[in-house]
Structure 1
Amino acid sequence: MSISEAESVVMEVLWRQAPRSAEEILAEVGPQQGWQEGTVKSLLNRLLKKKAVKAEREGRRYLYMPKLTREQYVSQESKGLLDRLFDGRIAPLVAHFSEQRKLSRKDVADLKKLLEELGDDQL
């Protein structure tokens, strides 16, 4: 499932708190995104078709809830990034970030700790 950047803004709202109506989503992200009600409803309809969200009718409105978890989304996006840009390998990704942005001592310590925790059985 491919989720656009705009759709991910809506998903972030729903991951923080659900269920939410289109109006509630618009109130939260509309002003900073420059979105109108029609934009939010279009994004919700696209997410419904992708089965990333579900909707339940409450009176005259619909309440939306995520079906796709944030963890599932992050996993899909991470794998896609690795596959597209780094041949599915993590080391070139880390090397790229260390060249583009200076890794802090804490970053390096966290990476070392992670490698130690993985141990030989996962390598």
Structure 2
Amino acid sequence: MKEIPAISDAEWEVMKVVWGKYPITAGEIISVMENQKDWKPKTIKTLIGRLVKKDVLGYEEKQRVYCYYPLISQEDCIQKENKSFIKRVYNGAVKSMLVNFINDSELTEEDVRELQKLLQEREEN
């Protein structure tokens, strides 16, 4: 798997739009983003350009219109961000992170059952 570059918070917002529907034109991305954020079209185009430079977005030209598509899956990006977060905030200690999240979250009975099931499956494997 190729190295996944760091993606800024603003770039994540653009990627969410692209992951949601692709191929997608810059105009369509701008239209969605203008409804979600108070960003100017030029800002959005700059973010698209950065993502292309980082090899996170690809494009093909169709009748003088650029259609963008992701080069990296959302799942792969989330996995990289998770690892980066755990390393940066918890010095790589997953247990500490889980304890903090469980203690600081209001978990429903269903959440607790699902976590127990995941831990049981992990223990069996």
CA–CA separation in structure 2 for the residues paired with 1:103 and 1:94: 13
**1:74 corresponds to which of 68, 74, 78:** 78
For residue 107 of structure 1, report the CA deviation from its aligned partner: 1.7
For residue 103 of structure 1, report the CA deviation from its aligned partner: 2.0
Unaligned runs of 5+ in 2: none
2:36 pairs with 1:28: no
2:95 pairs with 1:91: yes
| Residue equivalent to 2:12 | 8
| Residue equivalent to 2:65 | 61
Runs of 4+ residues deviating >4 angstroms: none
CA–CA separation in structure 2 for the residues paired with 1:117 and 1:99: 22
Greater RCO structure (CA 8 Å; 6+ sep) = 2
Cα offsets for 1:66-119 (capped at 9, x unmatched) = 001001111001111111111222221121112322222222111110111112
| Residue equivalent to 1:19 | 23
Question: Number of residues paired by the alignment?
Answer: 121
| Residue equivalent to 2:51 | 47
Corresponding letter in the other structure for 1:82: I
For residue 31 of structure 1, report the CA deviation from its aligned partner: 2.8
CA–CA separation in structure 2 for the residues paired with 1:97 and 1:80: 17
For residue 120 of structure 1, report the CA deviation from its aligned partner: 4.8
The Cα RMSD (Å) is 1.3
Corresponding letter in the other structure for 2:94: I
Percent identity, aligned pairs only?
33
Q: TM-score, normalised by structure 1?
A: 0.91
SS where residue 112 of structure 2 aligns? helix
Unaligned runs of 5+ in 1: none
Q: Decide which moves more: 28-37 or 62-71.
A: 28-37
Q: TM-score, normalised by structure 2?
A: 0.90
